């Protein structure tokens, strides 16, 4: 029987191997959270201030995305799209995973943003209009900057979820941290060590994200908003 | 004081009617403003004073009525004309409505930058000049949450002035203030009036109204039922609704003050 928690195995084999997976995970999480966050804000604004027609269509997109498990969405993107007649979209594993994550995280972010957009007092909007600002100037310069500050804790929560559901990417053969861990386990039959290390990696990523978000909140803090200095 | 120049008024709001959720809030109200006019709207709560004011710059769109800027009729459905009207008509709100995420100077500088396309430096220079005018230059970097009510309202006045309005609308500018802060705001408003800034003001500060108003409009149930100079309407024994209302208001406030003591 092999030694349990053998340091040679952990440091010489498991960690270098899993580091490759970590890089791929970060390659998914960082762009997905940035692009998804931006699209989420845009979708949130459209869902509150868009014309009725736009509002309804974005609402339906969100309803579908939130109503279907992410695993199924990823499978449709990767395995389903190539067999749509006349369309035949072939996505690389990385592209399929990234697109799936962006769409998913943007939908959830839009819900946080929508909530805080609705919480901005009517008086703020009236004041901007009374100064002669147009609707979009008001939204861009007055409403969104306030709403984002209020949405930050919720949006941070979604980013932390994203770190963890990035582990679904291996399902569409985009081999990230969890995928590498699975492969290593099947080769070495040492699930305890390998998965424990993977777990630690996720914990570190989530902690780093939490710390970064706290710094961002502090950087954007304004008296009367967010973190009290 | 009532001698009218023969030229056209700066701003005319004619025959405004407004329904809110099926109820008639405004019923054929008109007002016109000439240079140097300070018109005060008074009346019991629910009379439609604030609604009237908000219809004048179309924060609420009147169901019927016309707005004339000088000798030009404003088409309020046309976004460009509407924004232009609002640039000419500054508004001061009861609860200040400063942009909570911007410092005092940025509050004042925002509209000149976005609406008039001034660059940041120019706009801030203008903002400082306006803040100096209301005596708050030293608070330029503070955020609304760090200012007192009176200071917030003065920043709001500076913000409106930075757009060079031709008329100011003031919607109960001192009603949300602690009594000891009312004075500083009224001083600024009185100063503006004495420099000839045309204004329409909703207020319950009757002594102030009497001192600065060129005309008082008394509203009740959505109609302007009396209209005239303060001397005419408020003369003791003049038997007007306005005078009656003011006596009752005075009794009420006097009674309150006595109760506090």
pLDDT tens-digit profile, chain B (261 residues): 444 555 788 999 999 999 988 888 999 999 999 998 999 999 888 889 999 999 999 999 999 999 999 888 999 889 899 999 999 999 999 999 999 999 999 999 999 999 999 999 999 999 999 999 999 999 999 999 999 999 999 999 999 999 999 999 999 999 888 888 899 999 999 999 999 999 999 988 888 888 899 999 999 999 998 888 888 888 777 778 888 888 887 777 654 444 333
Residue A156 in any domain: the answer is yes
Report the domain count for chain A: 1
Contact B44, B77 (CB under 8 A): no
Q: What's phi and psi for A33, nearest 5 deg?
A: -70, -40
Residue A226 in any domain: the answer is no
Give the chain A residue whose CA is nearest to the CA of B164: A131
B-chain residues within 8 Å CB-CB of A222? 100-101, 143, 145
Residue A1 in any domain: the answer is no
Q: What pLDDT does residue B258 have?
A: 40
Contact A179, A169 (CB under 8 A): yes
pLDDT tens figures, A164-194: 999 999 999 999 999 999 999 999 998 988 9
Residue B114 and residue B232: Cα distance in Å, rounded?
45
Q: What pLDDT does residue B254 have?
A: 58
Among A126, A132, A146, the residue with its CB nearest the CB of B111 is A132
Print the domain residue range for A93: 7-220
Residue A227 in any domain: the answer is no
Q: Is A62 left (phi over 0), alpha (psi -120 to 50) or beta?
A: alpha
Q: H helices of B137-240, where?
A: 149-161, 179-194, 206-212, 230-234
Examine the pLDDT at A132 and tell me if it is beyond 80: yes
Q: Mean of the per-residue pLDDT values for chain A?
A: 92
- Among A86-90, A122-126, B210-214, the minimum mean pLDDT is found in A86-90
Among B84, B86, B100, the residue with its CB nearest the CB of A131 is B86
What CATH number has the domain bearing residue A120?
1.10.3720.10
Q: What pLDDT does residue B4 have?
A: 55
Residue A90 in any domain: the answer is yes
Q: What pLDDT does residue A206 have?
A: 96
Distance from CA of A102 to the nearest CA of B (A): 29
B79 touches chain A (CB under 8 A): yes
B87 touches chain A (CB under 8 A): yes
pTM: 0.85
Cβ separation of A142 and B93 shorter than 8 Å? no
Residue A45 in any domain: the answer is yes
Distance from CA of A208 to the nearest CA of B (A): 28
Residue A134 in any domain: the answer is yes
Examine the pLDDT at A145 and tell me if it is beyond 80: yes
User: Domains of chain B by range and CATH?
Assistant: 11-260 (3.40.50.300)
- Among A31-40, A41-50, B233-242, the minimum mean pLDDT is found in B233-242
Residue B84 and residue B164: Cα distance in Å, rounded?
12
B-chain residues within 8 Å CB-CB of A131? 86-87, 90, 110-111, 115, 159-160, 163
Q: What pLDDT does residue B261 have?
A: 34
Q: What pLDDT does residue B168 have?
A: 94
Residue A103 in any domain: the answer is yes
Q: Best residue in A124, A131, A141 to probe B by mutation, most B CBs within 10 Å?
A: A131
pLDDT tens figures, A155-171: 999 999 999 999 999 99
Examine the pLDDT at A3 and tell me if it is beyond 80: no
Q: What pLDDT does residue B246 have?
A: 81
Q: Is the ipTM of this complex over 0.90?
A: no
Q: What pLDDT does residue A112 have?
A: 94
């Amino acid at each position: 029987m092999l030694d349990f928690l053998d340091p040679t195995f952990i440091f010489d084999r498991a960690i270098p191997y899993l580091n490759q997976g970590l890089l791929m995970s970060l390659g998914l999480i960082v762009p997905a959270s940035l692009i998804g966050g931006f699209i989420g804000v845009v979708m949130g604004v459209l869902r509150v201030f868009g014309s009725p027609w736009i509002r309804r269509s974005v609402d339906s997109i969100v309803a579908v995305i939130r109503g279907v498990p992410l695993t199924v969405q990823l499978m449709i993107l990767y395995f389903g799209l190539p067999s749509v007649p006349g369309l035949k979209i072939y996505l690389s594993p990385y592209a399929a995973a990234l697109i799936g994550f962006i769409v998913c995280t943007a939908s959830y972010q839009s819900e946080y943003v929508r909530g805080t957009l609705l919480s901005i007092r009517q008086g703020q909007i009236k004041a901007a209009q009374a100064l002669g600002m147009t609707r979009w100037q008001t939204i861009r310069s007055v409403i969104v900057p306030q709403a984002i500050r209020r949405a930050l804790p919720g949006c941070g929560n979604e980013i932390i979820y994203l770190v963890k559901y990035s582990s679904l990417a291996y399902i569409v053969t985009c081999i990230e941290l969890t995928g590498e861990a699975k492969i290593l386990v099947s080769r070495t039959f040492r699930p305890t060590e390998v998965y424990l290390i993977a777990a630690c990696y996720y914990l570190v990523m989530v902690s780093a994200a939490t710390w970064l978000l706290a710094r961002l909140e502090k950087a954007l803090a304004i008296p009367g908003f967010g973190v009290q200095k | 004081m009532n001698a009218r120049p023969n030229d056209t008024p700066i701003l005319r709001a004619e025959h405004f009617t407004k329904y809110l959720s099926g109820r008639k809030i405004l019923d054929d109200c008109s007002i016109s403003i000439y240079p140097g006019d300070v018109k005060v709207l008074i009346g019991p709560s629910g009379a439609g004073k604030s609604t009237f004011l908000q219809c004048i710059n179309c924060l609420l769109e009147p169901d019927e009525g016309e707005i004339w800027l000088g000798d030009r009729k404003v088409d309020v459905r046309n976004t460009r004309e509407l924004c232009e009207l609002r640039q000419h008509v500054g508004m001061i709100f009861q609860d200040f409505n400063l942009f909570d995420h911007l410092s005092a100077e940025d509050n004042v500088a925002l509209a000149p930058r976005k609406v008039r396309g001034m660059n940041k430096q120019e706009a801030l220079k203008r903002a400082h000049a306006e803040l100096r005018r209301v005596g708050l230059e030293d608070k330029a970097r503070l955020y609304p949450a760090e200012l007192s009510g009176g200071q917030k309202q003065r920043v709001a006045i500076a913000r409106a002035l930075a757009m060079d309005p031709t008329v100011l609308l003031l919607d109960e500018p001192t009603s949300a203030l602690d009594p000891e802060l009312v004075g500083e705001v009224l001083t600024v408003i009185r100063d503006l009036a004495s420099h000839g800034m045309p204004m329409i003001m909703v207020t319950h500060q009757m002594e102030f109204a009497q001192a600065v108003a060129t005309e008082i409009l008394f509203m009740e149930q959505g109609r302007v039922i009396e209209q005239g100079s303060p001397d005419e309407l408020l003369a003791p024994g003049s038997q007007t609704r306005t005078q009656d209302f003011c006596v009752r208001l005075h009794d009420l406030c006097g009674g309150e003050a006595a109760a506090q003591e």
